[in-house]
Structure 1
């Protein structure tokens, strides 16, 4: 599912937008490409420090959308490319993946785990 270009974007800095929706209202939070870890194809781990509203929204509706990109990775029509992902989300507070992320990002209080169901290159 994750393409070579997607992995290349993860290796470059850029902003990631995470969109959740519950109670009839969308919520957007941002993080950085360098904070995303892919322990296996189709899964992303994201360190969470705040993201309290994101967590609350996922308890009501676990559907999540992300966008990310980098102007440093060649796209379909020139410099820069981006991706739109859809999937399901849950927050981890313990376990091996939490420990991995806590070691890598000491500020982590929880880990947002995204199981990606759709990946589309947008640029």
Structure 2
């Protein structure tokens, strides 16, 4: 009987929730994975309203993320060369699989990704709204 209880406990411990180190918990209790690909946007969106209600300006240091609260300040670090840029979340997206953030054109220029279009990044939250 003791052996069965011990084996049962081992199974329960082994089935506990695990998460990669790249996840963070936001103020709403949701977890966010912040490793993946970044893209940039701008052409065709200048002057239009973002999901936050702001007018999109590709010259501003802003970005789109699927779930982070508007106003969240994040650092986006290129995996290849460690160049980084700090942006504020003011829109929703990206809507392509595998991408975790869409940068404005100015932010993409700062991190040196205009030509590549899509790069591997790590996104670190610096400040919650």
TM-score by length of 1: 0.36
Name which one, 1 or 2, has greater alpha-carbon Rg.
2
TM-score by length of 2: 0.35
More helix by share: 1
